Structure 1
Amino acid sequence: MDALFSLKGETALVTGGTRGIGAAVAIALAEAGADIILVQRNDTVTETQKTIEALGRKVIVYAADLSSATDVAGLIPQVLADGHSIRILVNCAGIQIRHPCEDFPDDDFNAVMQVNLNSVFTLCRDAGKHMLSQPPSPITGRRGSIINFASLLTFQGGLNVPAYAASKGAVGQLTKSFANGWSDKGITVNAIAPGYIATEMNTALLNDEERLASISVRIPAGRWGTPEDFKGSVIYLASKAGAYVSGHTLVVDGGWMGR
């Protein structure tokens, strides 16, 4: 079983790894044996980096603003030029902006789409092309694994979040499209759709007592999720254990979608 879930000797690039789900995921990958490339807005030393280093794994930080198409376009080429090889890509970074639909500004819509969708497309494309050039890993048996973070709003419309819903719906379809192109070439591409998770992105909901109550009563698990709830699902999809899973969106939601 250790070999089935081991990522020893692999290198994973993670966006959004400074806090919340992304931080838990980056640490989980390191706990499974992977070295980590963290993509963040600046090169400040974070608690995520300190924790990974304490585990004895290598961690490299690249500063890039995912709201900048130029920064995103240059990211994978720079990582590869510096001599790194990427076996695992986790696109976890995302932003949320809320307005009534009738008043949703173009600039805010475009900003959400750039971070949540456009950057995911570019990083998948560029990292995937690199993975295709590599021989299969002796650890996982394939050339690479890409894991995109989707959302319950990949399937539902939400309230006052048309940009976020549009971006996450598209991430689900993007994941399937890349999987169709690469699964037979040794690259699995999947997504994880979190339910209601107690993170900074959901502060507005957590602070709205009425909305919080209406959501909480509908979660069969009886609680909101935590970032640590995603450690196992990411390791499963990245490791040998998930070798025959591709094009799938794994819902981790405490049973929300089943009610």
Structure 2
Amino acid sequence: MMHATFDFSDATVLVIGASKAGIGAAIARAFQDAGATVTITGAEPEPAAEDRARFAYHQLDVTDAAAVTALAAATPTLDILVNCAAITARGEEMAPAFFSHVVDVNLHGTFRTAEAFHRHLQARQGSLINIASMYAMFGSPRNPAYGASKAAVVQLTKSLAIAWAADGIRVNAVAPGFIVTEQSARSRTDPAHVAAVALRTPMGRWGQPDDIAGPVLFLASPLSGFMTGTCLAIDGGYSIA
């Protein structure tokens, strides 16, 4: 119901990293429900079963610069780009090689796609929205690469907002808190962790992917037309507790 207040019927949207049940897929569905023409990507050969007939899909490895460039070349127009592609592995990120891989996907992948679609967004006076994390603001002993990469995504968002303002492109980000997704499934096997999150969160629960979709649509809409370089915390109050 909340998405019905937005009208994206004339917009083309690309959501990078939306093949699994999670934030990217929820954002893609919300844009489509608001009338947009939506394409999604993911590292997997196919998206989640419920989305196979719903969206145009491209398998994409965001660490492959040639593949990203090819997708951009095959895309005629684009109004809104949402960067959701990210990986993490709780407790495994101290290994240098894996640390580098996480940063390559989460940070360099975000920049690769943004740069590849810059001309599209410039032509349409479009909007870029990056998915950061509350870990951009907190230390994370079990997810150091994820936290470092997401902090860098926030800084990248600010820098691109300044660099591309003259091109008519708005660049913003959202920082989700603890969300019930496939990616967080591993951490949610720890009952003490699940309980601790809910206890600290003023709203008393973990978030759902749809909790992120509404703010993203807002940032892509004319209602936020004087906003650029911002990062909205969407964490049920966790970061202020």
TM-score (ref. length: structure 1): 0.85
> In the alignment, what sits opposite 2:6?
5
- Rounded to whole Å, the distance in 2 between the matches of 1:258 and 1:148 is 22
Q: Which of 183, 193, 205 is the equivalent residue of 1:223? A: 205
One-letter amino acid matched to 1:14: V
1:172-208 CA-to-partner distances (Å, cap 9, x unmatched) read 0000000001224311100010001111211222111
**SS of residue paired to 1:190:** strand
Q: Which of 169, 188, 198 is the equivalent residue of 2:170? A: 188
Cα RMSD, aligned residues only: 2.0
1:34 maps onto 2:36 in alignment: yes
1:91 maps onto 2:83 in alignment: yes
1:188-233 CA-to-partner distances (Å, cap 9, x unmatched) read 1000100011112112221112222222210000110001112211
**SS of residue paired to 1:244:** coil
> In the alignment, what sits opposite 2:137?
155
Q: How does 1:74-223 map to 2 (within 5 A)?
A: 74-77=70-73, 79-80=74-75, 84-99=76-91, 104-132=94-122, 134=123, 136=124, 143-223=125-205
Say whether the 8 Å CA contact 2:62–2:112 is kept in structure 1: no
Gaps of 5+ in 2: none
**Which stretch of the first structure deviates more once superposed, 66-75 or 215-224?**
66-75
1:21-60 CA-to-partner distances (Å, cap 9, x unmatched) read 111100001111110111123553642243xx4xxxxx32
- Rounded to whole Å, the distance in 1 between the matches of 2:196 and 2:59 is 39
> In the alignment, what sits opposite 1:14?
15
1:125-161 CA-to-partner distances (Å, cap 9, x unmatched) read 12122222x1x5xxxxxx1000000000111111211
Q: Report how many residues are paired.
A: 237
Say whether the 8 Å CA contact 1:146–1:190 is kept in structure 2: yes
Q: Which of 57, 61, 78 is the equivalent residue of 2:57? A: 61
- Rounded to whole Å, the distance in 1 between the matches of 2:70 and 2:96 is 26
- Rounded to whole Å, the distance in 1 between the matches of 2:44 and 2:4 is 35
Say whether the 8 Å CA contact 1:12–1:37 is kept in structure 2: yes
Compared with structure 1, are the counterparts of its residues 41 and 3 closer, same or farther at alpha carbon in structure 2 (3 Å cutoff)? closer
Gaps of 5+ in 1: 54-58, 137-142
TM-score (ref. length: structure 2): 0.91
